[in-house]
Amino acid sequence: ETGVTQSPTHLIKTRGQQVTLRCSSQSGHNTVSWYQQALGQGPQFIFQYYREEENGRGNFPPRFSGLQFPNYSSELNVNALELDDSALYLCASSPQGGNTGELFFGEGSRLTVL
């Protein structure tokens, strides 16, 4: 069984640029969530995708957007990067509807904005 994989693992961008992060969900999981984890903090919910539709969104501005593809993989796009966007971005997948409450996280993409 393949777990959640994310790419890239590390990247450096400058303020104002755009970034796309990618995630492949665990086999059999059709729900994908994205979380932002700043240093020393717990993960913060960005949004969730289920059946290619956004299925819940946290308190993040519209410059954070996403997609889910028919194979359940997902992308997180962040436009007009700000210094505070520097964080670990975690993708998590869960079985249908995520009813068990367990999320399976990837190892994350560590973004540094200079």
Interior CA angle at 91 toward 111 and 44, to 5°? Answer: 75
CB of 78 or CB of 94, closer to another protein:
94
The residue ranges that bind another protein (CB under 8 A) are 31, 33, 35, 40-45, 48, 55-56, 58, 90, 92, 94, 97-103, 105-108
Structure tokens at 60: 């993040």
Which C-beta is closer to another protein: that of 17 or that of 47?
47
Q: Cβ 16 to another protein, closest distance in Å? A: 28
Q: What angle do CA 9, 22, 85 make, to 5 degrees?
A: 65
CA distances to 49, 98, 113 from 14, rounded to whole Å, are 28, 35, 5
Shortest Å, Cβ 112 to another protein: 14
